Structure 1
Amino acid sequence: MPTLHITRGFPAAGKTTWAEAFCAETGAVNINRDDIRRTLRIGQHGTQRQEDAVTSVQSALFAAAVDNRSDIVLSDMNLRPKRLRPFLTGADRAGYTVEFHDFRAELDELLRRNAARDVERQVPESLIRDLWSRFPQNRWPSAERIIATVRAMTDGTFSPVDNPRDLPHCVLVDIDGTLAHHNDLRSPYDWARVSQDTVDESVRDTVQDIHAAGVRLVIMSGRDEVCRPETTEWLARHGIPWDELHMRPTGDQRSDWMVKDALVRAHIQGRFHIRYCLDDRQQVVDHYRAIGLKVFQVQPGDF
């Protein structure tokens, strides 16, 4: 049975070195977006049209390798599980096994290795630091969880939310990236410092108007429940009204969209009619829409 190998890791973590050696030894096909960019003479980050072209080539190479029943290596960072969905789905349908290969390294080591690279292969130090902050290694979901999630999405396990209009109306509002911004003053997962966040005045004004009109405000947050006291204090300090606050259960490391799906079904469905949702994160926006909810995306949030 052929195998799909998926690497995970930051720039300079050793993914390419391993993939090239592994493919030379086994004959597996290595598919890498940076290689495609170099072939197309695109820089490290092209325009949206160029990146779409890279994705098209990547998908075509994957389909050809699957048709040949070749072992495949996807040797990119692969830190955003949703971007793996078409490949995991294709591999599942074609009878492939899937193996994840994690390449972990401390920040100082990544920066040292990056500086030692050939100039054309170096990435900005700021990019490595940003990725390190946004994707903490201790929060990477397990391979089993990613595969199970993709299968659930493909199989339609996540059915539309029952949302009858004759129930009391509410609006679902996100916090991080919607009501609040950490502005790189803290890690997105540094729950002890959420009180330092700045408020988004436009979104605050909007939710104040919603609440004044008699519509219930339900805050749905991917924050860990451990920072509920700091979060409620922050909301009060910034004059943000709310009727209910639902948060990620302590220690739950599922993706935001999965957490919010579970919160909606456990606490909202059957009690309220959801008029719409305010959120920024693309994975949540996409999922809300997939289960039949109206969403206003307050800013880009593809992370």
Structure 2
Amino acid sequence: MIAKERVLVVDIDGTLCKIKGPEEDYASLACDQHMKARLMELHDQGWRIILSSSRGMRTYDGNQGEILRHVLPVVSAWLDEHGVPYDEIWMGKPWPGRDGFYVDDRTVRPREFLDNSLEELAAICDRDRLL
């Protein structure tokens, strides 16, 4: 059953951790402690947290089987190591390329998520939604 209320869909790279550099590996990236704390707070309040990532989409040319085989175990281990709360992980979010964007009426930037109340976030989404 799909939860209909109190759901957060959260990206990983650039949100829970910085974007990996060419000489870095995913397992050694630091977890953003402010983002983790906010997610823990909301998870404790009953929010369902779904992590959604495009990690591996370019590397494995969108091959879901390869992403689940090679990328998901690294992601799961990293989340467990850092104690990040989540209820689901969805891999295979379309990658917008190096210069593309995700456009969605329910999107807030990581900084907005950290700096605003839930009511303010709803107002940001309402303000920017096309009617």
Q: Give the shorter-chain TM-score range.
A: 0.5 to 0.7
Pick from 93, 108, 128: which aligns with 1:296? 108
Report the alpha carbon displacement of residue 168 of structure 1 after superposing the two structures with TM. Answer: 3.9
Task: Answer yes or no: is the 8 Å Cα contact 2:17–2:30 preserved in 1.
Answer: yes
Secondary structure of the corresponding residue to residue 89 of structure 2: strand
Q: Residues 197-250 of structure 1: CA distance to partner in whole angstroms, max 9, x if unpaired?
A: 11111111111111110010000101122310010010011110100000117x
**Change beyond 3 A, Cα 1:194–1:171:** same
C-alpha distance in structure 2 between counterparts of 1:212 and 1:283, whole Å: 31
Task: Answer yes or no: is the 8 Å Cα contact 1:172–1:217 preserved in 2.
Answer: yes
Task: Answer yes or no: is the 8 Å Cα contact 2:15–2:110 preserved in 1.
Answer: yes
Tell me whether 1:208 sits opposite 2:26 in the alignment: no
Secondary structure of the corresponding residue to residue 218 of structure 1: strand
C-alpha distance in structure 1 between counterparts of 2:100 and 2:42, whole Å: 23
Q: Residues 22-77 of structure 1: CA distance to partner in whole angstroms, max 9, x if unpaired?
A: xxxxxxxxxxxxxxxxxxxxxxxxxxxxxxxxxxxxxxxxxxxxxxxxxxxxxxxx
Pick from 246, 266, 275: which aligns with 2:90? 246
Task: Answer yes or no: is the 8 Å Cα contact 1:182–1:198 preserved in 2.
Answer: no
Single out whichever of 222-231 and 234-243 deviates more from structure 2. Answer: 222-231
Identity of aligned residues (%): 23
The residue aligned with 2:13 is: 176
C-alpha distance in structure 2 between counterparts of 1:255 and 1:288, whole Å: 14
- Across the aligned residues of Structure 1 and Structure 2, the Cα RMSD in angstroms comes to 2.8
Structure 1 segments, 4+ long, off by >4 Å, are none
Pick from 52, 55, 63: which aligns with 1:223? 55
Show the 5 A alignment for 1:21-32.
Answer: none
Which residues of structure 1 form unaligned runs of 5+? 1-165, 188-192, 258-280
**Change beyond 3 A, Cα 1:200–1:242:** same
The residue aligned with 2:126 is: none
Amino acid at match of 1:283: F
Q: Which has the higher contact order (CA 8 A, sep 6+)?
A: 2
The structure in which a higher percent of residues are strand is 1
Pick from 75, 78, 96: which aligns with 1:256? 96
**Change beyond 3 A, Cα 1:195–1:172:** same
Aligned residues: 97
Q: TM-score, normalised by structure 2?
A: 0.63
Q: Residues 267-296 of structure 1: CA distance to partner in whole angstroms, max 9, x if unpaired?
A: xxxxxxxxxxxxxx9812xx122xxx2x22
The structure in which a higher percent of residues are helix is 1
Task: Answer yes or no: is the 8 Å Cα contact 1:211–1:241 preserved in 2.
Answer: yes
C-alpha distance in structure 2 between counterparts of 1:218 and 1:212, whole Å: 14
Task: Answer yes or no: is the 8 Å Cα contact 1:182–1:194 preserved in 2.
Answer: no
Q: Which has the larger radius of gyration?
A: 1
**Change beyond 3 A, Cα 1:167–1:296:** same
C-alpha distance in structure 1 between counterparts of 2:46 and 2:110, whole Å: 22
